Structure 1
Amino acid sequence: MKILILGDVFGRPGRNILRDQLSDIISEHDIDFTIINGENASGGNGLTIKNARELLSLPIDAITMGNHVWHQKEMLDAIDDFPQIIRPLNYPDPCPGKGYKIFLHQNKKICIINLSGQIFMPNLSCPFSSIQALMDDIKDTADLFIIDFHAEATSEKIAFGYYMDGIATAVYGTHTHVQTADERLLPQGTAYITDIGMTGPLDGVIGVDKEIVLETMITKRPKRFVTATGKVQINGIILEISDVDGKATAITRFYETYEV
């Protein structure tokens, strides 16, 4: 089995490039299952109902989220209408939506889990204790466990990868929008990368118009962020999973740029 996982889809440029390129990417690489992170898909800040439907009309099987999951307020009431959308598991109860979802695909049960880190991030429950409690309950219910760890600090992401080594099929980081070059199989076989990057504007500052970001950094005065224009990128990874034992056999970075 080959699983395509794409990094934070940012605004209209990210959605449009997936509309134009995703089917070809899936065909070219013989992809069986596709996951995206959608927490920046609406203007770089959350996910609207309209944009959720737009993305799910594409060959996308699951959408993970992150710290912007509730920034489009309509999603608070609507998230339970979208079983493909997975918000961070470690929000305190009661909370709308689900922190994990098991998908049946090609006779395999694929469990997708979303977690938020703690360092420089909103103060949610501990991701380490949250995943431990969940795995105690569901470890025998799925063939594959794939975790989107949405976090800022590289050290926390790496530590979490080791914490889940041999337990999760794959742990990949999102949130920073910058793809890292440390993809590997950890000693106990878990596929790992610190950040899979961003799908959206290339000629900006992590998705935002660079002139606006420069102005705010130089003047220290706030200004409304606007999505960057120009070239776009698609960042992510391709996981190869053994059909025999469900373990990752390879993790490969995916990085393409496009003129629009």
Structure 2
Amino acid sequence: MKVVFIGDIVGSVGRDAVKRLLPWIKDKYQPHIIIANGENAAAGRGINAAITRELFEWGVHGITMGNHTWDNREIFEFIDDEPRMIRPANLPEGSTPGRGYTAIKVGSKELAIVNLMGRTFLPPSDCPFRKADDILSELRQKHKCILVDFHAEATSEKIAMGWHLDGRASFVVGTHTHVQTNDDRILPGGTAYLTDAGMTGPRDGVLGMERESVIRKFITGLPSRFQVAETKWILSGACVEIDEATGRATKIQTIRVDEDSWIAS
């Protein structure tokens, strides 16, 4: 099975990149299932129903989220009824809408996906490591192929999660920091790992935001309103091949395309 994961989609620029490049991704990588992180898809903060429908219509099969899940309040109106979207599973049980994991089936291919959020430098949440243990213990009874999107700030926390789940998940991919890392590898237990998939959005901003306001905040220390930059786009992610009989990854390669190289191609 081939799975493509698309890094954090940021605003209309990121959505435009996804719309333009999905046909190319399908042709080049021949993925069976495409998963994308959508927590910044609506103007850089959260997601809404219209954007969710668009992503599915364009060919995304599952959407993961993160710490900006609730920034667009419209999500409360549809997240409980959308089984293809998941939010961090280690948010408080019993009072949090939506689901933290699900199974995506496309034709004969089936992939379980899990969303977790780190605790270092992010809002309070339950322990992602213990939550991962509980969820994977359940999922592995029915599913061989499992993808975990670990939405976390600290590199050390992401790497620790990769090793913690080695041999139990097919692919552990980090999101949130918007900068693709150069450490894609297959761990000894057969888990494909990437510290951060990178961002799909404005290439020439600061993590997708308009750069002048970010620089101003660093210089002055004063509050500054951040808006999604209107620049050329970049699409970042990864393609992983998984042995369906064992759930072990056999290959991982990063995807990184910007608007200039896309035009050149």
Classify the secondary structure of the residue corresponding to 1:86.
coil
Q: How much does 1:251 deviate? A: 0.7
Residue equivalent to 2:195: 194
Aligned-partner Cα distance in 2 for 1:243–1:237:
18
* More off after superposition, 129-138 vs 195-204: 129-138
1:188-235 Cα shifts (integer Å, max 9, x gaps): 110001000000001000000111111111111212211112221000
Aligned-partner Cα distance in 1 for 2:57–2:171:
26
Q: How much does 1:146 deviate? A: 0.5
Residue equivalent to 2:224: 223
Alignment map for 1:4-153 (pairs within 5 Å): 4-94=4-94, 95-153=96-154
Classify the secondary structure of the residue corresponding to 1:87.
coil
Count of aligned pairs between the two proteins:
260
Q: CA RMSD in A?
A: 1.3
* More off after superposition, 64-73 vs 14-23: 14-23
Classify the secondary structure of the residue corresponding to 2:225.
coil
Residue equivalent to 2:177: 176
Aligned-partner Cα distance in 2 for 1:20–1:184:
28
Q: Given residue 248 of structure 2, which amino acid in structure 1 is its aligned partner?
A: K
Aligned-partner Cα distance in 1 for 2:244–2:188:
20
Aligned-partner Cα distance in 2 for 1:137–1:27:
34
Structure 1 segments of 4+ aligned residues over 6 angstroms from their partners: none
Q: How much does 1:31 deviate? A: 1.4
Indicate if the aligned counterparts of 2:6 and 2:200 stay in contact, CA closer than 8 A.
yes
Aligned-partner Cα distance in 2 for 1:58–1:152:
29
1:8-28 Cα shifts (integer Å, max 9, x gaps): 000000001111111121112
Identity %: 43
Aligned-partner Cα distance in 2 for 1:226–1:25:
28
Indicate if the aligned counterparts of 2:115 and 2:149 stay in contact, CA closer than 8 A.
yes
Structure 2 runs not aligned, ≥5 long:
none
1:127-160 Cα shifts (integer Å, max 9, x gaps): 0111111222232111211100000000000000
Indicate if the aligned counterparts of 2:144 and 2:244 stay in contact, CA closer than 8 A.
no
Aligned-partner Cα distance in 2 for 1:238–1:198:
15
Aligned-partner Cα distance in 1 for 2:132–2:25:
32
Q: How much does 1:81 deviate? A: 2.3
Q: How much does 1:106 deviate? A: 4.1
Aligned-partner Cα distance in 1 for 2:30–2:150:
25
Indicate if the aligned counterparts of 2:32 and 2:109 stay in contact, CA closer than 8 A.
no
Classify the secondary structure of the residue corresponding to 1:85.
coil
* More off after superposition, 136-145 vs 110-119: 136-145
Aligned-partner Cα distance in 1 for 2:69–2:218:
26
Aligned-partner Cα distance in 2 for 1:123–1:62:
25
Indicate if the aligned counterparts of 1:77 and 1:96 stay in contact, CA closer than 8 A.
no
Alignment TM-score, normalising by the size of structure 1:
0.97
Indicate if the aligned counterparts of 2:112 and 2:139 stay in contact, CA closer than 8 A.
no
Q: Given residue 114 of structure 1, which amino acid in structure 2 is its aligned partner?
A: N
Note closer, same or farther for the CA distance 1:241–1:138 as it changes in structure 2 (3 Å cut). Answer: closer
Q: Given residue 87 of structure 1, which amino acid in structure 2 is its aligned partner?
A: R
Classify the secondary structure of the residue corresponding to 1:199.
strand
Alignment map for 1:198-213 (pairs within 5 Å): 198-213=199-214
